[in-house]
Amino acid sequence: MERILTVPCDWTRFIALAEHHRVVPLVYRRLTSYADQLPGGDVTVLRSIYEENALRALQFTGELVRILKHLEAEGIRAIAYKGPALAQVLYGGVTARQFSDLDILVRPEDVRNAKAALAELGYKSTIELSARLEQAYISSGCGYAFDGWLGPHFLDLQWRIVPRFYAVNLDVASFFERAERVTLGGHSFSTLGVDDLLVVLCVHAAKHLWVQLSWLCDIAELASSARIDWDSIWQRSRQLGLQRTVAINVLLAHDLLGLPLPLPVESWSKQDRLSEILKGEMLRIIRRSSHHDTESTAYFRLMMRLRERWLDKSRFLWRLIWTPSVSEWSAIRLPEPLFPLYRGIRLFRLAKRFAAG
């Protein structure tokens, strides 16, 4: 670290990158040991951002506690993950990780009751659907975003980790069976078990093409924990067809953050050449520090290449083509007897997009 600090640095750019990758708390805590070697003004800027994040994290945690207690009082089981819960589990404190919203997981059958309970707290869903369309959305989608007093899209209520068309068949019901406890604001709540959490974090980072380094920092922190059972995780990844996805996450964390390679991943990477190729492509995306168009044909091709089983690739493609989304429902309002036509609208819109891309 001391040798690195002797090299000229564009600190304005450095701080901007730390914010983009949401690693300000990690960077600030590491650099405070070398504060006397850093430009005073830049340290002040970084400290200010860190303190603002800490205050926001505490505020978000207080609101999360209020929400979870209300859901509990209404008899709705909920799992807090990412946000304050993840910060507490991985780093031992809610201010040690940067986040901008809250994520709560419920069972699909509890979605409507959870929405009603959140409305009682003043939260408004950003999507309004008829009863018939809402049932279709619960079957195919993954979550509702809510606007609240702390800002727009502040809360994500999820019943699936990713939309169904990704063909990632994570069993939410089993998450509740294996859930662990985390203490937030003096209260104990459910959170994902560490093995489930690692797989979920890998899927989430892959879905967003690793455009934020913080996701890999979380994965590296969790993957190096003595609590992680790599034999169990690798077996579950094989059953889900997610070995390549998990492997690429670990390989990226190894290259960028020095995470030791677990034996299953090391063996896999020697056999699966595409994992190494995709890792190189993802490294270039991370270094560009830019967001990726998740509606582009290039993105969908990447999602298919991440899957190692042809059955999962075909399921992904089939569901992508034929599963209407909120975009189709919002574009054209059809009477209920004509709802099957939304599949044709979906196909037309995708064909138009692919032709343009």
* Structural tokens at position 178: 């294996």
Contact between 316 and 334 under an 8 Å Cβ cutoff? The reply is no
Placement of tokens 């750019």 in the chain: 13
Distance CA 317, CA 261 (A): 32
- CA-angle at 330, arms to 324 and 331, nearest 5°: 90
122 DSSP 8-state letter: T
339 to 127, 159, 322, 332, 344: CA distances (angstroms): 18, 23, 13, 10, 10
Secondary-structure percent of the chain, ordered helix, strand, coil, rounded to 5: 65, 10, 25
- pLDDT reported for residue 35: 65
Burial 200-211 (b: 16+ CB within 10 A, else e): bbbbbbbbebbb
Q: Which residues pair with 103 in a beta bridge?
A: 156
3-class state of residue 308 by DSSP: coil
* Number of alpha helices (DSSP H) and beta strands (DSSP E) in the chain: 18, 7
**Which residues are CB-neighbours of 313 under 8 A, at least 6 positions away?**
304, 307
Tell which residue, 285, 223, 215, has the closest CA to residue 250. Answer: 223
Q: Which long-range contacts (CB under 8 A, 24 or more apart) does 35-44 make?
A: 37/2, 37/5, 38/5, 38/11, 39/11, 42/11, 42/12, 42/14, 42/15
pLDDT tens-digit profile, the chain (357 residues): 555 566 677 888 888 999 999 999 999 988 887 766 666 666 788 889 999 999 999 999 999 999 999 999 999 999 999 999 999 999 999 999 999 999 999 999 999 999 999 999 999 998 889 899 999 999 999 999 999 888 888 999 999 999 999 999 999 999 999 999 999 999 999 999 999 999 999 999 999 999 999 999 999 999 999 999 999 999 999 999 999 999 999 999 999 999 999 999 999 999 999 999 999 999 988 888 777 778 788 899 999 999 999 999 999 999 999 999 998 998 888 998 899 999 999 998 888 777 766
DSSP track, 265-290: HHHHHHH-HHHHHHHHHHHHHHHHT-
How far, in Å, CA of 25 to CA of 87, rounded? 11
- Please check whether residue 222 is in contact with residue 228, taking contact to mean a CB–CB distance below 8 angstroms: yes
In angstroms, the CA 148 to CA 121 distance is 9
Question: Which pLDDT score, from 0 to 100, does residue 19 have?
Answer: 93
Residue with tokens 């059955």: 311
What residues contact residue 37 under an 8 Å CB cut-off, 6+ apart?
2, 5
Separation in Å, CA 318 to CA 42, 129, 331: 51, 24, 21
Output the pLDDT for position 145.
Answer: 95
Find out whether 79 and 104 touch, Cβ atoms under 8 Å.
yes
> How does 163-194 read in b/e, with b if 16+ C-beta sit within 10 Å?
bebbbbebebeebbeebeebebbeeebbbbbb
Cα separation of 131 and 143, whole Å?
A: 16
Q: How many Å separate Cα 210 from the centre of its chain? A: 10
Give residue 45's pLDDT: 86
* pTM metric for this prediction: 0.93
What is the structure's pLDDT at 7?
66
Contacts of 324 (CB under 8 A, 6+ apart): 136, 140, 342, 343, 345, 346
